[in-house]
Amino acid sequence: MFHHLNRWLFYFGVWLLLSGYLHDPLLLGFGILSCTLCAIVAWRMDVLDPEKEPLRLRLMSLQAFLYWPWLLWQIVKSNIDVARIILDPKLPISPTMISVRPIQRTDLGRVIYANSITLTPGTVTTDLRGDTLDVHALTQSAADDVLAGDMGRRVAQMEQRS
Amino acid sequence: MTLALDLLSWLALLGGLFFLAVGGIGLLRLPDFYTRLHAAGITDTLGAGLILLGLCFQGGWTQITIKLILILVFLWFTSPTATHALARAALADPENSPPMFHKKD
């Protein structure tokens, strides 16, 4: 019951933020009605099991608050690197494929790691199955950065603290 | 204050334009499909990000800014997934040419 109420509050918060109808009782009523309908549908369909819904908790944990800004900084840095390579007249690329073993335990952690690798320009995750994660890198140094595993350790840390 | 905000906004918009242009140049200059994905990554992340940031400065503390930030969040969650799907689909087809490797010195 608590989860459903929690979810309803979340829906209504998003609805208020996106619609902005704070002063119109009629539209506010419609908003409450549609949020309730959504909560009932989600409850009836039983697709959102609170035990299998760890995403929100993890995204909100302290480690996550440290991880996302760090990732943003990495993205900015690698963007500048790749832009410099592209604008260089000699085009100094050294494309390579590597395989790494993800050290994260959960699927969510691995997906966050793979997505983070793809999100930073210069490296793209091409495959993630079992215990290997294939990465295509634009340069050897970008590949070395992935092999050094700094990002992987940070994602694993986020996993443990949640 | 408005001037400073406008300045910041223009700086971000111009930066975004620069990275979008670099992404386009990269698409043309880079030799094969897989390396071109990296150029597309630039337009997805900093290009779109800086443009939206510049628009946020124009919007100020309003609902518009909230929506712009939400757009950015969704874009940054979905674009790596799309890139990954593209790369994986390209690798899965044996008729495609394999990714280019540089020669080790």
**Using CB atoms, which residue from A18, A115, A140 is nearest to B80?**
A115
Q: Is A47 helix (H, G, I), strand (E, B) or coil?
A: coil
DSSP B69: H
Q: Which residues of B touch A132 (CB under 8 A)?
A: none
pLDDT band at A86 (very low <50, low <70, confident <90, very high): very high
Q: Which residues of B touch A94 (CB under 8 A)?
A: 102
Q: Judged by CB atoms within 8 Å, which residues 29-68 of B form the interface with A? A: 29-32, 34-35, 37-39, 41-42, 45-46, 63, 66-67
Alpha-carbon span A116 to A25, nearest angstrom: 43
Tell me the per-residue pLDDT of B21-80, one tens digit each, with 9 for 90 and over.
Answer: 999 999 999 888 889 999 988 888 899 999 999 999 998 888 889 999 999 999 988 999
Whether the CB of B8 is below 8 Å from some CB of chain A: the reply is no
- Map out the domains of chain B as residue ranges: 2-92
Q: Which residues of B touch A138 (CB under 8 A)?
A: 35, 38
A58: Cβ–Cβ under 8 A, 6 or more apart, which residues?
A: A64, A108, A158, A159, A162
Measure B2 CA to nearest chain A CA, in Å. Answer: 24
Question: Do A127 and B91 lie within an 8 Å CB cutoff?
Answer: yes
Alpha-carbon span A93 to B73, nearest angstrom: 30
Tell me the per-residue pLDDT of A105-157, one tens digit each, with 9 for 90 and over.
Answer: 888 788 889 999 999 888 999 988 878 899 999 999 888 988 998 898 888 88
- What tokens were used for A14? 């998003």
Model pTM above 0.90: no
A58: closest CA among A69, A70, A66, A48?
A66
ipTM of model: 0.85
